């Protein structure tokens, strides 16, 4: 295990406090589906401001290629608005660079990133992450929104998985990470 439920809660509350004080005049939170959903749900419940929330879904052409396209766009007109993109994890930064470029073309008043996890060691595209929860190393992580082949997304902790093991058996960590009925 890398980040416990308690530590995740502390990190999310800290980010919510930072956002609440930075955006007293309002903010549009744009979450990238699907990985950011657990983070977003906890984040907005800890805010002391009222955010507008919208979602974006992207599909990538290949792992780490940075070639992505928007498959579900936001409905809110963000022109002139303060916008924060909510992401589960920033790895190479290529996905985020594309999404930020798309949103920037729509003329927001400001555009920042709030990322739960920052895998800074693997960054290819230089990015300024204004709000970050935790730094993680060059490891494949699972849980709290992050999946492998659809598994592990609904865990309330973040754990490290071995990619070789997962490729062989996507369910390899299911018994260990999902506590059975007690």
| Residues taking part in catalysis | 91
Q: Which of 96, 105, 109 shows the shortest CA–CA distance to 26?
A: 109
Contacts of residue 58, Cβ cutoff 8 Å, sequence gap at least 6: 32, 33, 68, 69, 70, 71, 95, 98, 99
| Other residues' Cβ atoms within 10 Å of the Cβ of residue 87 | 26
Token pair belonging to 1: 């295990």
Q: Does 88 bind ligand 5GP (CB under 6 A)?
A: yes
Please say which residue, 11 or 81, places its beta carbon nearer to ligand 5GP: 11
Q: Does 114 bind ligand 5GP (CB under 6 A)?
A: no
| Other residues' Cβ atoms within 10 Å of the Cβ of residue 181 | 3
Q: How far is the CB of 160 from ligand 5GP (least distance, A)?
A: 8
Q: How far is the CB of 91 from ligand 5GP (least distance, A)?
A: 3
Q: How far is the CB of 26 from ligand 5GP (least distance, A)?
A: 26
Please say which residue, 22 or 140, places its beta carbon nearer to ligand 5GP: 140
What separation in angstroms does the CA of 32 have from each of 55, 58, 70, 86?
A: 6, 7, 10, 7
Please say which residue, 82 or 119, places its beta carbon nearer to ligand 5GP: 119
Rounded Cα distance, 160 and 3, in Å: 9
Q: Which of residues 123-182 bind ligand 5GP (CB under 6 A)?
A: 140-142, 146-148
Q: Does 92 bind ligand 5GP (CB under 6 A)?
A: yes
Please say which residue, 101 or 180, places its beta carbon nearer to ligand 5GP: 101
Residues that bind ligand 5GP (CB under 6 A): 35, 64, 88-96, 119, 140-142, 146-148
């Amino acid at each position: 295990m890398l980040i416990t439920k308690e530590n995740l809660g502390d990190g999310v509350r800290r980010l919510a406090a930072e956002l609440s004080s930075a955006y007293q005049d309002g903010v549009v939170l744009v979450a990238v589906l699907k990985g950011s959903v657990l983070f977003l749900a906890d984040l907005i419940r800890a805010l002391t401001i009222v955010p507008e929330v919208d979602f974006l879904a992207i599909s990538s052409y290949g792992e780490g290629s940075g070639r992505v396209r928007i498959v579900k766009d936001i409905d809110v007109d963000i022109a002139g608005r303060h916008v924060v993109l909510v992401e589960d994890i920033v790895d190479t930064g290529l996905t985020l660079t594309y999404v930020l470029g798309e949103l920037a073309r729509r003329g927001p008043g400001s555009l920042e990133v709030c990322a739960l996890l920052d895998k800074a060691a693997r960054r290819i595209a230089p990015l300024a992450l204004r709000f970050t929860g935790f730094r993680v190393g060059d490891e494949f992580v699972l849980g709290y929104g992050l999946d492998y082949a659809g598994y592990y997304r609904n865990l309330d902790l973040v754990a490290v998985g071995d990619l070789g093991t997962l490729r062989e058996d996507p369910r390899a960590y299911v018994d260990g990470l999902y506590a059975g009925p007690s």
